[in-house]
Amino acid sequence: MDSNINKVLLLGSGPTQLGIENELDASAFEKLMALKKMGIKVIFINDNPFSVVSEEIQPANVYYQEINFENVKRLIEKEKPNAILPTVSGLNGLQVTWQLIDSGVLERNHVQILGISKDNIAKIINDNNLNDLLSEINEPIISSKIVNDYEEAFDFVRGIGFPVIVKPISPNRDTSRKLCSNGEELQAALEYSFSRTYVNQCLIEQSIVGLKEIEMVGVRDVVGNKILVSGLEDMDPIGIHSADSIIFAPTQTLVSQEYQRLRSATFKIMDALNLNGTCHVQFAQSRTDDKYYVTKVSPFFTRNTMLASKATGYPISYISGFLELGILLTEIKLPERFGNSLAIMEPTLDHTVVKIPLWPFEDVPDADRHLNTTIKSVGSVIGIGRSVEEAIIKAMHSSQYSPRDILPTAQKMDEDSLIRQLIHPLENRMLILIEALRRGFSIDELSELTKIDQFYFYKINQLLKIQEYVKNHPLCSEAVKIGHKYGFGDGMLAELWNTDIMSIRKINQDNGFRVTYKEVEPSAGEFIEKTNIFYSSYELENESSPFNSKSALVIGRGGNQLGPNTASDYYTTQVLIELHKLGFKTIIMNTNPNAVSLVPHLSNKQYIEPIQLGNILNIVEIEKPEYVFLPGNRHYLTKQLRKFKNLKVIILPPDQEKTSFNKNKANTAVDLFIDGNNILPITTTTLDTANNKNSLKYITNYYQPMKQHTKYGNYLIDKSISMLKNSDYQGLIQVLFDYDSLTDQFEFIGFRPIRITETAFLSKITGVNWVRVLVKKNVGNVDFNRLEKMVKPDHYLRVANMISQFPFNQLRANQHAGSTQQEVGARLEFKNIN
Amino acid sequence: MTTTRYLILEDGTSYEGKAFGSLATTSGEIVVNSTMNGYQEIITNQVYHNQIIVFTQSSIGNTGLDQNSYESVQPTAKGVVVREYENLATDHFKRISLDKYLKQHNIPGIYDIDTRQLRHHLQKVGNMKASIVDVDDEHAFDQLTATVLTNQQVAQVSTPKPYANPNDGDNVVVIDFGLKFGVLRELSKRKCNVTVVPYDTSSERILDLDPDGIVLSTGPGNPNDIKPGVLEMIRNVQSEVPLIAFGLGHELFAIANGAKLNPLFIEHHGSNHPIREIITNELLFADQEQGYQIDFKSVDHSKLFITYLDLINGSIQGLRHRDYPAVSFQFSPDGSPGPKDRDDIFDDFIETMATRRRQAYGF
Amino acid sequence: MDKTILDQMAMQRALTRITYEIVEKNKGVDNLVLVGIKTRGVFLAKRIANRLKQLENIDIPVGELDVTNYRDDISHEGSNRDKFNNDISFSIEGKRVILVDDVLYTGRTVRSALSALMEIQRPKSINLAVLIDRGNRELPIRADFVGKNIPTSKHERIKVSVSEIDNKDTVELIK
């Protein structure tokens, strides 16, 4: 390790958006753990108010600013870090770093770049440079050529073969790209394109649409030792964005030679980039021969890097934190509980992981639902099983397909639409595939239409058969057994048979059907790795045993969706951290691969299981937790869990059912914390809407303190306190007012528990972590006096502003102002009061 | 309709599962393989002669078997144990399905086994015999206990007669102890003119073929059971021509040069262990099929270099003779299956042959 | 057109093989010293020394020899041999010297190196190790250890890059 490095500038993720969820914050968290272990001081920049990392760093070292050239430059000049770490900041982080290199800022301030060299950043952010590099090391890329005439065009296509895409250069009117599969089509496309170009040139590009998409994630150290952490196989072909694809780990339909070729290519690319850290490479693999093409190289942390990490239990970001500092793979010491050779063993799996994306189309109805090369998903869930079917069922059940049906259908669809959707898939493609199989389409035909490997149709078909069998044998123990084996949980069986879950649990008890938990670990059972990550199966050996001391189960929020989105997961992590502080062994249950709450350091045990009643009860039975925490508003689950009187279920924040309003319009709020008879005012805020609708659900812009604070702050606070005295509200409560500027009057509107996103906002701006306060209040004691000293809502030097972000542009939806249910993320900024 | 069958172990454990492949009753040593891709290469590798293979990969057979991935013509494994198997032969290559292949070759398979538990169990109890049977009664266990596994594995799988794989490059003689085709493919790729000879061919006959280089192949069984003549042959040829050895060939090379070999408590089959090349400190991964390890203390350092080590179990993974261009590898760098991190070992072999020829003949 | 003949891996392998062959031929490493011909030969010699250290845990001294002024085909004015930029801080008297260079071509560089060495002291033996032998010899000189033989024409050029000064390890054929 370079001993000169003692202060590192870590670039954060920026606001959540489509394509950037909380995986970057999760990996930054792991990285932070690694840097702390090395005794390095970290400066962090991130304007995402839901970042967990920014609360793990001393407030003085956290900058809530947009990650752009100017801001980072200023920060470097002020803080004088020795090094910058841009690998958990997405492509934006690399772009900014490149600007810093190009303008000489890094050199002038003697700042090193960790993980990747200056020259190679230029190669990554510029496609041409990257293609040159790949050509230099003989890695195949998609061929393209600008041609001047027919002869040149045909010569080129004879060389690369069909299919190709033709488009005019500098078109003189609206044109489209033409896909050609034979000579006649090429002739026609050239005639079309040559008649529409100003410069009499066309671009011909090899088409790889329909090929298999395979992804590889590896790590490399400074002397060139490499490990392939995981291969991932997209069920959906090239042409559908990988974030919108259903993905399997490990790869399912590659033979050894194919797999090894891509593994070797990944290593070659990592060597050529001379990087230390992690790299994610995407390939298009031919289905008919052994050809492949490199389609994307990401030498930084991506969503699928996280997926590879979750699939294997190999803590990629933590380990690459050390690698980026120049420590060798063989020198890395993992936390004690892990097997001592985990970092240097190439992961090998004995389970299957399936990732299914979640799309925001219910919340943004006018977006185009077609899956193509632009990203549309907002989140994803994973299912893990010992069989492929089991993993598929679990992931499907955790995704947004109707929770009541096991294998949902699209029975009403006419045949033409069905075929059209097979060829041009929408987000509900899984339903369409299932329906097509139900209607007896042959697997050959389906594979031809969809370019999805036949293997997956066999698997779905198998699930249909199992479901049919189970359905026809209600409450029969053999059907329960078979159902279990293929991933049908007790809750699903109950729904299939239209009974309640207790009757299924009785069958389990009578027949000795016991759920077994298997560890997600990278040695396939060769060593005891103690990753403490588990998933269920119904087999012989259960590997999860309860803790000796008091424990608490925290139920994660599942896949990211519009609305509170990643703020819910932020909330969950704070619950975990506080419970740990209070002496609980913490157990998290979640299905969101990108969740910070699944970072290994944040809990004592993790269950990757569908967040369904049956699965929760199974875990409770084994763990016997003292408390079950349910962060986020989940009425259905809350209702179900409340039926079990012996469970101490704690809902945070309290149900919005407790809300009471005079009218649905407000622009000012007072936030307070109530503990017993003590009432502590926290702050005032101005609530703003983008479209002047003023309706509560359109409030997406928050200022603290409220704009009229100097004049009316104390007045409103006193008023709120007096109204809340003798009420039965407890915890974090918001009192809403509507200010009329004409009359200069505040009208009282109502009370509500403080929402998740605003709780995060409050924590960031007051320096008190209110989620943790709430946890303390529920399971222990709050030191009210101390809290009172920390919170002083009377004197402000700066205005904090949280602005919600929406995915309308990314989805090309014709909408501008969004509601709280359509939020994808938020930005946080501070302005000094002059 | 699926048939219920049992996998029984010498220590009295029984696993209920379901049958696929052949319905034969077989016995063999039970070993675990943790490679994720390449079930075809594994099943057809002769190193598994008389062994029952447990796959940790939860589902195998997702792709059918293809013509380019066989490691032998006649597989001699005794059984396949897996959590799930697929019976697909579906893609454009029109491959043969796993079930059909196992039936053709009379190899029984058993699935729906908690292979993760089985592996944990075997890690504790070590190598042992096992059977795949119809009924797991006392009789079956008695039979299993009474079964004496042959120690003539090499004699059973080695080619009875020499055969050639002509090409126009270096003249290479491959000694067949249970050869896997991956090595032949690598030699073919480098245009070697290959003659494969039976394992007990004498050094005179081998040298009469005027080889530029000699390969000692992988193979099954206990290296200590090999006929002494083989060791003598190795000693005689290593001083004459460049020699390269893999797997069992490596173990025999070690014994021929004075080292001792001990059985591992549990055989290691997989490609997840980092192997360190001592001279450069580099890590690499490769398929390992290892049942025996060289006793460190028995290595005569005045004769042999230790060139590679397994960083997980510390076992010796490579040797080189100090006086002759003779190298040996415990692992299989040919990548069938497994990583090809070090397939340039074959390039080195070619280069070495060229160098020796130049030195001998001046061209 | 540049063509890569050896990539990083292949270059590493070649040096590894040469190292083993040196030990094999010298029946060990007793009395062994390495002398690299500047510039790239020095780095290659150091790498061989590193390998010997890994292998035998012994430090083999590495000397540096600058032969630009020794070349009989390069004219130099007022030849003053004291100016030679050699750095051999150990005695080579009675040693087995391994002379290391990147490319063996006409043989003239090696000839000069031999003269220079002999002028310093009397080694017991001198062997020659080269990464690339490209043929076209003009003198009766041959390498004892060769990484790779590349037959070339006189119109082609061989470019050896070493990561120590060129940021990459490659051997390229330039036409």
Residue C148 lies in a domain: yes
Pairwise CA distance, residues A444 & C156, whole Å? 55
Interface of C to B at Cβ within 8 Å reads 9-10, 12-14, 16-17, 19-21, 23-24, 27-28, 51, 54-55, 146, 148-149
Domain that includes residue C17, residue range: 2-71+84-174
- Same domain? B273 vs B256: yes
Neighbours of A250 (CB within 10 A): 25
User: What CATH number corresponds to the domain at position B127?
Assistant: 3.50.30.20
Give the model's pLDDT for residue A817: 82
pLDDT digit string (tens) for A504-513?
999 999 999 9
- Region A517-545: mean pLDDT is 94
User: Of A30, A638, A83, nearest to A334 (Cα)?
Assistant: A30
Q: Which of residues 219-258 of A touch B (CB under 8 A)?
A: 223-228, 250-257
C78 pLDDT tier (thresholds 50, 70, 90): very low
Q: In A351-423, which residue ranges form alpha helices assigned H by DSSP?
A: 388-398, 415-423
CB-based contacts of A800: which residues, under 8 Å, 6+ apart?
A: A702, A703, A704, A761, A764, A765, A828, A829, A830
Contacts of B279 in chain C (CB under 8 A): 16, 19-20, 51, 54-55
Give the model's pLDDT for residue C2: 73
Name the residue of chain B whose CA is nearest to A343's CA.
Answer: B274
Residues of chain A with CATH 1.10.1030.10: 360-367+377-510
Contacts of B114 in chain A (CB under 8 A): 516, 539-541
How many contacts (CB atoms, under 8 Å) link A and B?
162
The number of helices, as runs of H, and strands, as runs of E, in chain C is 4, 8
What per-residue string of b and e applies to A778-809 under the rule 16 or more CB within 10 Å gives b? bbeebebeebeeebebeebeebbbbbbbbbbe
For B280, the closest of C12, C21, C146 (CB atoms) is C12
Architecture of domain A546-652: 3-Layer(aba) Sandwich (3.40)
User: Of A499, A407, A416, nearest to A462 (Cα)?
Assistant: A407
- Alpha-carbon Rg for chain C, nearest whole angstrom, is 16
- Which of the other chains make 3 or more beta carbon contacts under 8 angstroms with chain C? B
| Beta-carbon separation of C10 and B347 below 8 A | yes
- Same domain? B350 vs B248: yes
Q: Does B115 touch chain A (CB under 8 A)?
A: yes
Q: Decide the pairing of beta strands A352-358 and C96-104.
A: unpaired
State whether CATH 3.40.50.300 applies to domain A144-206.
no
pLDDT digit string (tens) for A88-129?
999 999 999 999 999 999 999 999 999 998 888 988 888 888
Q: Does A206 touch chain B (CB under 8 A)?
A: no
Q: In A497-538, which residue ranges form alpha helices assigned H by DSSP?
A: 501-511
User: Of C76, C77, C88, nearest to C37 (Cα)?
Assistant: C88
Is A505 exposed, middle or buried (CB count within 10 Å of its CB: 0-12, 13-18, 19+)? Answer: middle
Amino acid at A772: R
User: What CATH number corresponds to the domain at position C45?
Assistant: 3.40.50.2020
- Same domain? B130 vs B107: yes
Q: Does A498 touch chain B (CB under 8 A)?
A: no
pLDDT digit string (tens) for A440-492?
999 999 999 999 999 999 999 999 999 999 999 999 999 999 999 999 999 88
Q: Which of residues 199-228 of B touch A (CB under 8 A)?
A: none
State whether CATH 1.10.1030.10 applies to domain A360-367+377-510.
yes
Alpha-carbon separation of residue A592 from A272, A521, A595 (angstroms) = 33, 18, 5
Give the model's pLDDT for residue B86: 86
Q: Does B69 touch chain A (CB under 8 A)?
A: yes
pLDDT at A10 over 60: yes
pLDDT digit string (tens) for A378-424?
999 999 999 999 999 999 988 865 555 566 777 788 999 999 999 99
Pairwise CA distance, residues A798 & A64, whole Å? 13
| Beta-carbon separation of B34 and A524 below 8 A | yes
Contacts of B69 in chain A (CB under 8 A): 255-257
| Beta-carbon separation of B347 and C20 below 8 A | no
The ipTM value here is 0.96
Domain that includes residue B240, residue range: 153-361
Structure tokens at B206: 């081998």
The answer for C63, left when phi > 0, alpha when psi is -120 to 50, beta otherwise, is beta
Give the model's pLDDT for residue A401: 55
Name the residue of chain C whose CA is nearest to B321's CA.
Answer: C24
Q: Which one of A212, A225, A228, A256 makes the best mutation probe of the B interface by having the most chain B beta carbons within 10 Å?
A: A256
- Same domain? B132 vs B37: yes
**A687: which strand partners?**
A702
| Beta-carbon separation of A346 and B83 below 8 A | no
- Region A432-446: mean pLDDT is 92
Structure tokens at B99: 């079930």
C83 pLDDT tier (thresholds 50, 70, 90): very low
Domain boundary among B92, B117, B146: B146
- Same domain? B44 vs B180: no
Distance in Å from the first CA to the final CA of chain C: 6
Give the model's pLDDT for residue A50: 97
CB-based contacts of C145: which residues, under 8 Å, 6+ apart?
A: C18, C21, C22, C25, C98, C127, C128, C129, C130
CA–CA min distance A815, chain B (Å): 45
Residue C131 lies in a domain: yes
Name the residue of chain B whose CA is nearest to A542's CA.
Answer: B117
CB-based contacts of A448: which residues, under 8 Å, 6+ apart?
A: none
Is A318 exposed, middle or buried (CB count within 10 Å of its CB: 0-12, 13-18, 19+)? Answer: buried
C159 pLDDT tier (thresholds 50, 70, 90): very high
- Low-confidence spans in chain B with pLDDT less than 70: 1, 89-94, 361-363
Q: Which one of C13, C22, C50 makes the best mutation probe of the B interface by having the most chain B beta carbons within 10 Å?
A: C13
User: Of A141, A114, A100, A109, nearest to A1 (Cα)?
Assistant: A114
Give the model's pLDDT for residue A315: 94
Q: Which one of B239, B279, B321 makes the best mutation probe of the C interface by having the most chain C beta carbons within 10 Å?
A: B279
Give the model's pLDDT for residue A34: 95
Give the model's pLDDT for residue B345: 95
Contacts of B312 in chain A (CB under 8 A): 341, 345
Structure tokens at A629: 């925490």
A726 pLDDT tier (thresholds 50, 70, 90): confident
- Same domain? B43 vs B111: yes
Pairwise CA distance, residues B342 & B285, whole Å? 8
| Beta-carbon separation of B59 and A348 below 8 A | no
How many contacts (CB atoms, under 8 Å) link B and C?
46
Scanning the structure block, which residue is given the tokens 């119109």? C155
Q: Does B62 touch chain A (CB under 8 A)?
A: yes
Domain count of chain C? 1
pLDDT at A3 over 80: no
Pairwise CA distance, residues B25 & B7, whole Å? 10
To the nearest 10°, report the CA torsion of A589, A593, A595, A601. 70
Give the model's pLDDT for residue B88: 79
**DSSP states of B120-154:** HHHHHH-SEEEEEES--SHHHHHHHHH----S-HH
pLDDT at A808 over 60: yes
pLDDT digit string (tens) for A751-777?
999 999 999 999 999 989 999 999 999
Residues of chain A with CATH 3.30.470.20: 213-355, 659-832
- What is the average pLDDT score of chain A? 92
Contacts of B305 in chain C (CB under 8 A): 20, 23, 55
Amino acid at B171: N
Contact criterion met (CB below 8 Å) for B250 and B208: no
pLDDT digit string (tens) for A245-264?
999 999 999 999 999 999 99
User: What CATH number corresponds to the domain at position B271?
Assistant: 3.40.50.880
Residue C76 lies in a domain: no
For B322, the closest of C10, C14, C23 (CB atoms) is C23
Domain boundary among B97, B119, B146: B146
Is A218 exposed, middle or buried (CB count within 10 Å of its CB: 0-12, 13-18, 19+)? Answer: buried
Least confident window among A666-675, B197-206, B261-270, C79-88: C79-88
For helices C8-26 and C40-56, what crossing angle results, to 10°? Answer: 60
Whole-prediction pTM: 0.94
- Same domain? B221 vs B313: yes
| Beta-carbon separation of B34 and A526 below 8 A | yes
Architecture of domain A659-832: 2-Layer Sandwich (3.30)
Amino acid at A270: M
Give the model's pLDDT for residue C80: 47
pLDDT digit string (tens) for B196-239?
999 999 999 999 999 999 999 999 999 999 999 999 999 999 99
Contacts of A225 in chain B (CB under 8 A): 274, 282-283
- Same domain? B163 vs B98: no
Give the model's pLDDT for residue B67: 85
Q: Which one of C55, C131, C148 makes the best mutation probe of the B interface by having the most chain B beta carbons within 10 Å?
A: C55
For helices A69-79 and A90-102, what crossing angle results, to 10°? Answer: 70
Task: Please tell me the CATH code under which domain A7-114 is placed.
Answer: 3.40.50.20
| Beta-carbon separation of A349 and B273 below 8 A | no
Give the model's pLDDT for residue A179: 86
Structure tokens at C6: 């050896």
Residues of chain A with CATH 3.40.50.20: 7-114, 546-652
User: Of B335, B248, B260, nearest to B289 (Cα)?
Assistant: B248
Pairwise CA distance, residues A425 & A442, whole Å? 18
Pairwise CA distance, residues A728 & B169, whole Å? 91
